[in-house]
Every structure is written in C-alpha cells, then in structure tokens.
Amino acid sequence: MVYIFNTSLRDNKKIRQELQEVIGIGKLKANQICDKLGLNPNLRVNQLSLTQTDMLIKSVDQNYYIGSELKKMIKDDIKRLIRIGCYRGFRHVQKLPVRGQRTHTNAKTVKKRGIIFVIQKKNEARVLKTMGVKRKLK
C-alpha cells in the first residue's frame, strides 16, 4: 500500500482510479496528471517506480490544490461570502440551497437539519426560536 497525499492507495488498482481517492482529484484531473507524466493507463500502483512516484507528487503539489488545502480554501470562500453579505452568503448562513434550486418540494432534509426548533412556554404562548429569531406560534 502506497501512502501519498494523506491517502493510502491500494496496490492492486490502476493509478488513474486510485488518484481519484485523493480529495480534490476527480476523473478528469487524474487523466490529465497521468497523460502529462506519460503513465500507461493500465499501470498499477505497485508497478510505479520511485522516480515516477516522485514526479507524481511534485506535479500534483505544484499544479493542484488537494486535501486540507482545498478544504481550507472552500471554508475561506464561504466565510468571505458571509462577511460581504451577498445572497449566496445568506443562503449559506440559513443552510439553504445556494445555487438556485427550488425549496418548496426539494431540499427538505437540508431545511430540517439547518434550523433548530425549540419550543418554550412563556406567558402561555409558545415561542419558536429559529436561528436567533423569535416568532410566536398560534
């Protein structure tokens, strides 16, 4: 088993398939990397030489964001959207779909997970707390 990019790659699988296990590398990027390095499509992970492994690591580190770097960039982008107060930022805060999907019939599980319902009794009126906003229920 080869351990690169904080991911353990299985020895008996093809290199193009195993590169897709790395966070941030999909099918297209895996094919681009293998074509750029001139790796055989049928080459297995255990058949990689040390020089090929080194070239693979250098190429991916120089050209792509992967793993924790990619996750940090995505988090920072979302925080920036929230900070500037744009529509997408508000949708992220409300835990609703961001890219224009409908919410009337779809995205019900997202809506349920994003909002915490707490029902309390105050002066014999039930109050619903939703993300810091109080509304009285009838």
**Which residues are registered as beta bridge partners of 133?**
130
Q: Note the pLDDT of residue 41.
A: 79
Q: Note the pLDDT of residue 24.
A: 92
pTM assigned to the model:
0.67
Q: Note the pLDDT of residue 79.
A: 93
- Coil/strand/helix, residue 118: strand
| Angle, vertex CA 12, rays to CA 24 and CA 14, nearest 5 | 45
- Structural contact between residues 47 and 37, judged by C-beta atoms closer than 8 angstroms: no
- Structural contact between residues 93 and 102, judged by C-beta atoms closer than 8 angstroms: no
Q: Which helix H or strand E contains 50, and what residues bound it?
A: helix 50-63
- The third-level CATH classification (topology) of the domain covering 2-68 is Helicase, Ruva Protein; domain 3 (1.10.8)
Q: Which of 108, 75, 71 is nearest to 92 (CA)?
A: 75
Residue 75 corresponds to which amino acid? K
Q: Report how far residue 90's alpha carbon sits from residue 22's, in angstroms, rounded to the nearest whole number.
A: 31
Q: Note the pLDDT of residue 113.
A: 60
pLDDT in tens, the chain (138 residues): 788 888 888 989 999 999 999 999 999 999 999 999 999 878 999 999 999 999 999 999 999 999 889 999 999 999 999 999 999 999 988 888 888 888 888 777 666 665 544 454 555 445 454 555 444 455
